[in-house]
Amino acid sequence: MNKPQEKMKNCEVYKELRRKYDKSQEQLAEEALLTRDKLGDYERGKATPTPEDIVNLSRNLNGKRLCRWYCYAECPVGKEIDLLPVDPMDEELLSTTMMKIMNELNKLKQIDINRLIEISMDGVIDKSELSDYNILRSSLAELGHAYGTLLRIEDDGKYIEAGEN
């Protein structure tokens, strides 16, 4: 993807999020301590928000997801390291994440614990162990991703602490 297309795609995020949360440019600009012109420039791709502006926008849109997306998609440092992609429009659902975790745990139940011990004892994965090893590796990767999603859901404040109503 060339840079102009990437910039156009990135700038659409601000307008789409504003619309998703049913806010006018004036309303969001005021809430995020921006001028309407500056917000308009971000939405048209004429300017890139500062990290401070992203923090202010995220407080009024979708929690920290916008900050994570910015770090992944627009921040020069974030572009240099291998961050997990973040869709700023997607609401991560706790129920879906929990179902993924249960599915992966069920896959791990397919592997006998003694088999896992055999695989690990000699430090070599031979052809007879490869199938079980691949299930283990794949499931652990998926569990790690699901755990990261749970942390993001928690970070976005999408849960209620015990005792809260």
Does some domain include residue 18?
yes
Same-domain status, 53 and 122: no
Same-domain status, 100 and 136: yes
Q: Which domain holds residue 109?
A: 94-155
Domain end point (choices 53, 80, 107)? 80
Same-domain status, 72 and 103: no
- Both tokens assigned to 137: 């590796």
113, pLDDT greater than 60? yes
Percent of the chain topping pLDDT 90: 30
pTM of the model: 0.58
The number of domains in the chain is 2
Provide the 10 A C-beta neighbour count for residue 146.
Answer: 19
155, pLDDT greater than 50? yes
Distance, in Å, from the CA atom of 132 to the CA atom of 112, rounded to the nearest integer, reads 9
Does some domain include residue 87?
no
| Residue-level pLDDT at 84 | 67
Per-residue pLDDT band for 50 (boundaries 50, 70, 90) equals: very high
Higher-scoring residue by pLDDT: 97, 5: 97
Domain end point (choices 57, 80, 103)? 80
CA 148 vs CA 1, 92, 135: distances in Å:
27, 11, 20
